[in-house]
Structures are given as structure tokens and as C-alpha cells.
Amino acid sequence: MNYAFLLAAILCEVVATTALKAADGFTRLWPSAVVVVGYALAFYFLSLTLRTIPIGIAYALWSGIGIVLIAVVGWLLYRQSLDWPALLGIFLILAGVLVIQVFSQTAGHAT
């Protein structure tokens, strides 16, 4: 269940960050409301995750996967281009997340 909470935190953060662009400096009501609720839910689910996953591991996964998903959303939704250095960076972030999940002895163990 701990990784389900982490996934929920990541998805809420991605939705909130996507809405942040649409909120246009908090000048648009509904996207601004989505930002506030999305980030509140993201931190709530992250706090539940921290009951069982060490903070460093949870935050690395949360931020790394979130960065990659936001880059994809920006590319798909806002037509923001991704050049080769950006794609390489995204690949390296994904590689780091994979290394944590596959090789880390602390991933999934509470401290």
C-alpha cells in the first residue's frame, strides 16, 4: 500500500503542476483551485508514504518520476519541445529511479 500512496502523491503533484501553468499566476479561479487541492493531496499522500518508506527514497522517487511525467505532459499538452539534452536528462532521471528500486537495500524499509 505504501507505493500506492506514493503513486497517488506523484499523480496529484503532476495534476497540480499542470494546473499551475493554466492558473496563469493564480489569475484563473478553477485552475488555481486545482493547484491548491492537488498539492494538498500530494503532500497528504506523501506523508502516508513516509510511514513505511525512508524519506530520502520516497522523495527521490516522488521528485524523479514527477519530473519525468511533467516533462511528458508539457510536451503533449503544451507542445513544449524536448531536445536531445533534455531527453538525455530525462533518461538519466529514469535510470536513477530504476537504480534506487532495483539495487537499493533501503527502498521499502522504514527507518
What pTM did the predictor assign? 0.86
Q: Please state, in angstroms and as integers, the Cα–Cα distance from residue 54 to each residue in 8, 16, 29, 98, following that order.
A: 17, 24, 36, 16
Interval 54-110: pLDDT, tens: 898 898 899 999 999 999 999 999 999 989 999 999 999 999 888 888 888 776 555
pLDDT (0 to 100) of residue 109: 53
Whether the per-residue pLDDT at 6 is higher than 90: the answer is: yes
30-52 burial string, b = 16+ CB within 10 Å, else e?
Answer: ebbebbeebbebbeebbebbbee
- CA terminus-to-terminus distance, the chain: 17
pLDDT (0 to 100) of residue 101: 80
> What contacts 110, CB < 8 A, 6 or more positions away?
51, 52, 53, 54
Whether the per-residue pLDDT at 12 is higher than 70: the answer is: yes
Interval 18-49: pLDDT, tens: 999 999 999 999 999 999 999 999 999 999 99
pLDDT (0 to 100) of residue 20: 95
